[in-house]
Amino acid sequence: MADTHILSREAFDRLKAEHDDLTTRGRIEIAKKIEAAREMGDLSENGDYHAAKEEQGKMEGRIIHLANLIENAEIVEIVGDGSDLTVQAGCIVSIRYEGDDDVDKYLIGSIEERREGLTVISPGSPLGRALMGSAKGDTITFEAPNGDMNVAVVDIEI
């Protein structure tokens, strides 16, 4: 059974549009590049041909990856508002590690949810699992590679 990928509606729509673009326009463009390179002659020493074939392979890999994400996506809507908001996929959470004065902001979700200036934490990671369902002001403990760590939830944003 494939893993479920938790995505916001926005990320799902963006990934679907990219998949549709690559399976139509992308495949047509790469086929034209390969055909143009073939017309140059000997394929064994044709750098343009080999570069186009490598590009095609990478694009097909991305298409397969996107198809898997789309097929196994669980689209989530953030529930709650400022006063009763808990950490859930799609939220931005500010945390403070025990013994540290700095506050770090993270986006909880799939790497495909990426947003400018934010590090993404998977809900399935040790820190992500521990944060899920916690509220502003909670202190949680999670198992890190060097032992248990405590973090305080400073803020939760949508």
The per-residue pLDDT for range 106-135, each reduced to its tens digit, is 999 888 887 888 999 988 899 999 999 999
pTM confidence score: 0.74
**Domains observed in the chain:** 5-75 (1.10.287.180), 92-157 (3.10.50.30)
Do residues 9 and 89 make contact, with C-beta atoms less than 8 angstroms apart?
no
- pLDDT confidence of 57, banded at 50, 70, 90? very high
List, edge to edge, every strand of the sheet that includes 139-144.
119-121, 104-108, 92-97, 147-157, 139-144
In tens, the pLDDT along 59-79 reads 999 999 999 999 999 888 776
